[in-house]
Amino acid sequence: MSSDDNTPAPHFIRNIIENDLASGKHKAIVTRFPPEPNGYLHVGHAKSICLNFGLALDYRGKCNLRFDDTNPEKESEEYAQSIQDDVRWLGFQWDGAVRWASDYFDALYDYAIELIKQGKAYVDELSAEEMREFRGTLTEAGKNSPYRDRSAEENLDLFGRMRAGEFPDGAKVLRAKIDMASPNINMRDPAIYRIRRAHHIRTGDKWCIYPMYDYTHCISDALEHITHSLCTLEFEDHRPLYDWVLDNITIDCHPQQIEFSRLELQYTITSKRKLLQLVTEKRVSGWDDPRMPTIQGMRRRGYTPEGIREFTRRIGISKSDNLVDMSVLEGCIREDLEARAPRVMAVVKPLKVVITNFIEGETASREAGFHPNHPEFGSRVVPFSKEIWIEADDFSETPPPGWQRLVPGGEVRLRYSYVIKCDEVVKGADGQVAELRCSIDPDTLGKNPAGRKVKGVIHWLSAEHALPAEIRLYDRLFTVAEPDADKTRDFHEFLNPASLTVVHAWVESCVNQAAPETRYQFERLGYFCTDRRDHEPGGKLVFNRTVTLKDSWTKEQG
């Protein structure tokens, strides 16, 4: 499953794991996926999910799902549930029960006591501003806090009183005592506990002090006996702190932290803060808006788990910048859908055509398969009637060079049906084309006309049998490849005003009972998916455009 029957791409993390297993350093691997439940997951998280769970599958190991719930004000059960849904939808299952950093709050507190007793942690009461000032810069060493040399007894007393709620929020923090002159700012006595009176989604009001991420994460990994702790490159400078904490407490496991480049996808953003902004400012309809790069958004748009997994395999794992063109993702989705999506017809810009020589009971309909390469998908009858819909874009009074669609006096084949000839153009009071009057060649149902060649093939629908549908044509959310690259400009400036166009269209009646999240290829138009929220089988039909077609089949015969 992890690589969809493709050979896993080699990369430096696989090399490390294979060496560790070959040397006997580890008998089996244990990885983890550790999101914070403070938002919905996006395509960058999909890369991490596929890496962590995929490696565990490939090497017959285990992968834990652990929520980093150390920041209670921003966390919710809604986010936690959506993350679990996303992991399962992508095709993975974590080992055992869901784990939470809060499962270890008592142990984390005890390890903090151990550090204090060793003289390796102290309670500080500098203000946040003073702490920044004392920290120094990239080129200047920091200064020791005046509270740094408190005795272990005093620090134990103060830390206990912090836990008991004696001090206001922000009045004191517990800091690791490492080195204020370290060239790595993360090692300049980082805070490991802060006072924060916030209701926690799992522990309620039991705690008014919460551990910091860097302190929590490494201990949680060790308690779960993680072998390879995989994270993105922004944590590379935090690795010395990860190792320092584990080296200075009594614990029987020391995972190896390994960093890889995060995924940046063109024409979108992957900052959780900015994605939240789009949601709260109602620039999109929600976290699962099909234009969003969230897993929920991609799912609602019609992307497949298999296509996303193939995308993460294709872009690879490395330490170099990973700015990927959106076309790579779209290509993976298109390739996957090409093989699995049944093909039907829809008309999004309808132009009425009246068949002048239609004879009731004699002019025939024809059966058509749902996929040329998958007869097992079955077939349906494509009904024909006196009035049909074609795409307005498939007719031109003044066609450009090379035009192979319908023109006045010209012929074209209707997909799965007859060759028709445009005999008359009827215009409305506004001078626009209102309808076409056409005649069929009755000898061309399922065969080519005698003595002449008709090149063009267009899709169409019987007006009598077609069903109305709302079709949402989605495009890229931003107009530029890197919308937040220019820090002098607000990324909102680059939102694409044409990222969603809603049209009232017509579809084949065979899709009437399609369940939400059913995917189709609308021939010549693209891949579409019934909306998982608004679509009602047998009622209001709502389709989202997943991705356009790479090539049309204009030369294909019906």
- 476 is known as an active-site residue: no
Catalytic residue among 62, 150, 239, 272: 272
CA max distance for the chain: 103
413-439 in b/e form (b: 16+ CB < 10 A) is: bbbbbbbbbbeeeeeeeeeeeeebebb
The answer to whether the beta carbons of residues 454 and 387 sit under 8 Å apart is no
Query: Pairing between strand 228-232 and 191-195?
Result: unpaired
Q: Alpha-carbon distance 315 to 480, whole Å?
A: 21
The answer to whether the beta carbons of residues 307 and 332 sit under 8 Å apart is yes
- Structure token pair of residue 463: 């007006």
395 SS3 class: strand
Tally of CB atoms within 10 A around 20 = 17
Tally of CB atoms within 10 A around 137 = 8
What are the phi and psi torsion angles at 545 (to 5°)?
-75, 120
Helix 43-58 and helix 12-23: axis angle, to 10°? Answer: 30
In sequence order, which residues have a C-beta less than 8 Å from that of residue 150 and are 6 or more positions away?
122, 123, 158
What are the phi and psi torsion angles at 359 (to 5°)?
-120, 115
Q: Alpha-carbon distance 531 to 517, whole Å?
A: 6
The answer to whether the beta carbons of residues 184 and 138 sit under 8 Å apart is no
Please state, in angstroms and as integers, the Cα–Cα distance from residue 268 to each residue in 291, 489, 490, 495, 539, following that order.
Answer: 9, 15, 14, 9, 34
Catalytic residue among 74, 148, 163, 262: 262
- 36 is known as an active-site residue: yes
The answer to whether the beta carbons of residues 558 and 414 sit under 8 Å apart is yes
- Structure token pair of residue 224: 């779960």
Catalytic residue among 36, 75, 306, 310: 36
Q: Alpha-carbon distance 489 to 479, whole Å?
A: 14
Rounded to 5 degrees, what angle do the CA atoms 489, 493, 495 make?
135
- 262 is known as an active-site residue: yes
Active site members: 36, 262, 272
